[in-house]
Chain A
Amino acid sequence: MNTDGLMEMSFYSATARRRASQLVDPGTFSELLAPNDRLVSPHLPELGEAVSFDDGVVTGVGRIGARPVFLISQEGRFIGGAVGEIHGAKMVGIFRLALQAYETILDREGRVPEERRPAILISFDTGGVRLHEANAGLLAHAEIMDMIQETKGKIPVISLIGSKVGCFGGMGFVAAATDVIVMSSLGRLGLTGPEVIEQEIGKEEFDASDKSLISRTTGGRHRYIMQDCNVLVDDTIRAFRRAVEEILALPYEEICHYRRIGTYPLVQEQMALVQQAAELMPGDSMDVWRCYGNDEPELLPEWELSEFLCAVRRRPKEVP
């Protein structure tokens, strides 16, 4: 099998299982609750909906160097990657195992060496709660947010967003709450999906059929300008993998500087941003890009990624 060829593969079109296995060192990925466990949703059949042996999420563990890396990789093709009872519990399970691994190393050695500090990677591809088992999905989101707070000061959590469905609904704030966000230009991140805004407020507010509007409002480049996305990469598994390696090579303290929320000073910085929103009231993201010194904002989506990264002016950060 030619692993190099697979690494050049588009992250956007890769299945959840492929993304999970290729983000860690070759041959180190072990899937937990793999398809042969045959644990399928007990709720979907009641509604006549097809089931999947992984419930739309691949969970497992691998290594990058000496570091144990715990993975969650969502499959957007299965009911839009939506989170039901099993899917949500698998995500919670990964957080539990990663935190336990941290505690185990700490107990044994009295400290956790940087190069062996466990990490969590989440490859998002989801619209949030699965309506067919909505209540369980909702409650799982709360557990995941609780777990993310529990990781603070212990282990890094990195979000990877560049798949078909993007990352919306409750998973939009789960991603925001993690330490680092890596996206490709094709990645989408938000809370309320375009269709829902159109339905709730009207086509004048948001035309959900306008692909470039969606990209400008929720896409990787916009999120990078806003400092929500920390690292913007090409659409290959290799590029995401390299970004993860580079981030994890940093001391944990430095990784924490990538956060956008999660402390009082960061919240105050975001409040200043909301103040700016109220004053500017942009009709389009391009108004915001211009305000940060991008004189020809309409060109930003057109550039090659390397050109974009050289030329773009991002929101100035106040909290280092």
Chain B
Amino acid sequence: MEQMIGRGREAITMIVDPDSFQENQVGGVSFPADYGPGAVVGTAALEQQPITILAIDAQAVNPRFPVVYFGIIGMEEAYKMACAVYETIQADRQKPVSEKRPLLLIVDTPGNAPGKVEEIYGMNKATGAYQLALAEARKCGHAVIAMVIGRAISGGFLCHGLQADHILALPKAYGTMIHVMPLTSISRITKIDVEQLEVLSQENPVFAAGVDFFYQLGGVEEIVPDPGRMRERITAHIAEVKALKSEGSFDRSGPWSRGELGAVRGGRRTRKAVLAQMESEFSAIADKYIK
């Protein structure tokens, strides 16, 4: 089966209306062509409606920040995507929720840039800024959809993906990878045999690597069977999220909702018990604190 890893630009073409993608144009801004080359941003049309695209170009190399290549998200890339999100929010500020354009994240990243310069200037701010922007877009009514076509790994997935309303992923057979760390590395750190970890992960998806486990944990809403179906499924999810938001149901998509989904699918049961217990303990003493 043909893998999609490293083919973020092709994925855009496969998903949006033919010849509709205008790279580097979002709202009132045009980004310089060489800025944050690992991130591809722009505006396209999907079923004749405008959509903001935020993708990763794994073939690009950032000439200014040598650790940024292979789909790694550096400071320029994260801030560029954050800008594109804020521009999108501004462009549709006056529009009702039903007319706010969606944002599509095409996900194929091994992580955030690990380097000394990045730490000196604060890569944590760059990835944090982009996540806050996405959360703001989601909360003010835009549908934010993530499509995992390749690697969605640890901090990279948090940065570019996990703030979406809905997350879709291609199946494992297409080479899709979702994890924090491969089992081999977990094995090295926990000193437990890989074979044993593999057996354990069949029972408990909580530390295992793979799309199917994230599905059980509620970390992925839907597995799209093949790349040819991406356009159709993304369109459907945009409509679904739009409908929820139009009726004011903002907590039925996004990270909180995936927490609830994790309990429904059985992968994350303890989270819910924790939240319920805390709420009940606080309600017994709330009068002492909220006068």
Touch between A and B in complex, CB under 8 Å? yes
A205 lies within 8 A of B128 (CB): no
Q: What 3 pairs across the A-B complex have the smallest Cβ distances?
A: A173-B128, A149-B135, A134-B180
Give a binary string over A28-39; 1 marks a CB under 8 Å from any B CB, 0 the rest: 001011000101
Interface residue stretch chosen among A244-252, A267-275, A300-308: A267-275
Contacts of A85 in B (CB 8 A): 206, 268, 270-271
Chain B residue, CB-CB nearest to A97: B282
A70 to B229: give the CA distance in the assembly, Å: 46
B200: Cβ under 8 A from any A Cβ: yes
B124 lies within 8 A of A176 (CB): yes
A39 to B132: give the CA distance in the assembly, Å: 31
B120: Cβ under 8 A from any A Cβ: yes
A183: Cβ under 8 A from any B Cβ: no
B206 lies within 8 A of A226 (CB): no
A20 to B185: give the CA distance in the assembly, Å: 34
A92-B271, A131-B180 known; 7 new pairs, CB 8 Å cut-off, are A46-B200, A90-B278, A93-B278, A101-B286, A173-B158, A270-B129, A283-B116
27 A-B pairs with C-beta separation under 8 A: A46-B200, A47-B207, A61-B282, A62-B289, A63-B289, A86-B274, A88-B271, A94-B278, A104-B286, A116-B291, A129-B154, A135-B179, A135-B214, A139-B217, A139-B258, A142-B162, A145-B128, A149-B136, A173-B128, A176-B124, A191-B114, A205-B116, A218-B119, A261-B132, A267-B86, A267-B129, A282-B120
- A139-B259, A146-B255, A191-B123 known; A217-B116 Cβ under 8 A: yes
Contacts of A132 in B (CB 8 A): 186, 190, 207
* Residue from B122, B181, B259 whose CB has the most chain A CB atoms within 10 Å: B122
Chain B 179-238 interface residues, beta-carbon cutoff 8 Å to A: 179-181, 186, 189-190, 192, 200, 203-208, 213-214, 217-219
Distance to closest chain B CB from A238 (angstroms): 23
Contacts between chains A and B (CB distance < 8 A), count: 272
Chain B residue, CB-CB nearest to A276: B121
B190 lies within 8 A of A142 (CB): no
A96 lies within 8 A of B114 (CB): no
Chain A interface size, under 10 / 10 to 19 / 20 to 34 / 35 or more: 35 or more
A222 to B268: give the CA distance in the assembly, Å: 39
Chain A, interface SS category: helix
Contacts of B290 in A (CB 8 A): 68, 101, 104-105, 116, 118
Contacts of A260 in B (CB 8 A): 122, 125
Q: Which of B79, B163, B217, B271 is close to A267, meaning CB atoms less than 8 Å apart?
A: B79
Q: Which of A62, A68, A135, A150 is close to B208, meaning CB atoms less than 8 Å apart?
A: A135
B219 lies within 8 A of A135 (CB): yes
A191 to B65: give the CA distance in the assembly, Å: 16
A150 to B255: give the CA distance in the assembly, Å: 12
Contacts of A267 in B (CB 8 A): 79, 82-83, 86, 129, 133
Chain B residue, CB-CB nearest to A93: B278
B217 lies within 8 A of A273 (CB): no
Chain B 227-279 interface residues, beta-carbon cutoff 8 Å to A: 254-256, 258-259, 262, 268, 270-275, 277-279
Contacts of A1 in B (CB 8 A): none
A75: Cβ under 8 A from any B Cβ: no
A152 to B154: give the CA distance in the assembly, Å: 26
Contacts of B26 in A (CB 8 A): none
A139 lies within 8 A of B275 (CB): no
* Residue from B76, B217, B271 whose CB has the most chain A CB atoms within 10 Å: B271
A148: Cβ under 8 A from any B Cβ: yes
Q: Which of A129, A146, A197, A281 is close to B254, meaning CB atoms less than 8 Å apart?
A: A146
A92 lies within 8 A of B275 (CB): yes
Contacts of A66 in B (CB 8 A): 291
A86 lies within 8 A of B270 (CB): yes
B275 lies within 8 A of A93 (CB): yes
Q: Which of B189, B213, B259, B286 is close to A92, meaning CB atoms less than 8 Å apart?
A: B259
A274 to B200: give the CA distance in the assembly, Å: 44
Distance to closest chain B CB from A52 (angstroms): 14
A133: Cβ under 8 A from any B Cβ: yes
- A101-B286, A131-B186, A278-B65 known; A262-B129 Cβ under 8 A: yes
